[in-house]
Amino acid sequence: MTKTLLVTGSSGLIGSEVCLYFARELGYTVHGIDNNQRAVFFGPQGDTRWNQERLKAEIPGFVHHELDIRDRAGVLALVKAVAPSAIVHAAAQPSHDRAAAIPFDDFDTNAVGTMNLLEATRQACPESPFAYLSTNKVYGDAPNRINLKELDTRWEYAEDSYANGIAETFTVDQSTHSLFGSSKLAADVMVQEYGRYFKMPTCALRGGCLTGPNHSGVELHGFLSYLVKCNLEGKEYKVFGYKGKQVRDNIHSLDVARFIATFVGSPRTGEVYNLGGGKANSTSILEAFKIAESFTGKAQVYTYVDQNRIGDHICYYSDLRKIKNHFPKWDITQSLTETVRQIVESWQRRPRV
Q: Are 11 and 54 in contact (CB under 8 A)?
A: no
Over residues 57-66, the mean pLDDT reads 97
The one-letter amino acid at 81: A
User: Per-residue DSSP letters for 75-143?
Assistant: HHHHHHHH--SEEEE------TTGGGGSHHHHHIIIIIHHHHHHHHHHHH-TTS-EEEEEEGGGGTTGG
Tens of pLDDT, residues 229-275: 999 999 999 999 999 999 999 999 999 999 999 999 999 999 999 99
The pLDDT value given to residue 279: 97
| Contact predicate 125/84, CB 8 Å | yes
pTM score, whole prediction = 0.95
Predicted local confidence at residue 353, as pLDDT: 56
Question: Could you give the angle at the alpha carbon of 70 between the alpha carbons of 65 and 73, nearest 5°?
Answer: 75
Residue 206 near residue 172 (C-beta atoms within 8 A): no
Domains of the chain: 4-349 (3.40.50.720)
CA-based nearest residue to 99, from 113, 109, 91, 89: 109
Using an 8 Å Cβ cutoff, are 90 and 15 in contact?
yes
Predicted local confidence at residue 352, as pLDDT? 64
Q: What is the pLDDT of residues 169-224, one digit of tens each?
A: 999 999 999 999 999 999 999 999 999 999 999 999 999 899 999 887 777 677 89
What integer best gives the mean pLDDT of the chain? Answer: 95
pLDDT band at residue 39, thresholds of 50, 70 and 90?
A: confident
Per DSSP, the three-state class of 47 is: coil
Q: What is the pLDDT of residues 100-111, one digit of tens each?
A: 999 999 999 999
C-alpha–C-alpha distance, residues 211 and 196, integer Å: 30
Give me the pLDDT at residue 280, please: 96
Q: Burial code of 114-138, b = ≥16 C-beta within 10 A, e = fewer?
A: bbbbbbbbeebbeebbbbbbbbbbb
Rounded CA-CA distance 106/94 in Å is: 8
**Spatial distance between the Cα atoms of 129 and 22, rounded to a whole number of angstroms:** 14
pLDDT, residue 94, reads 82
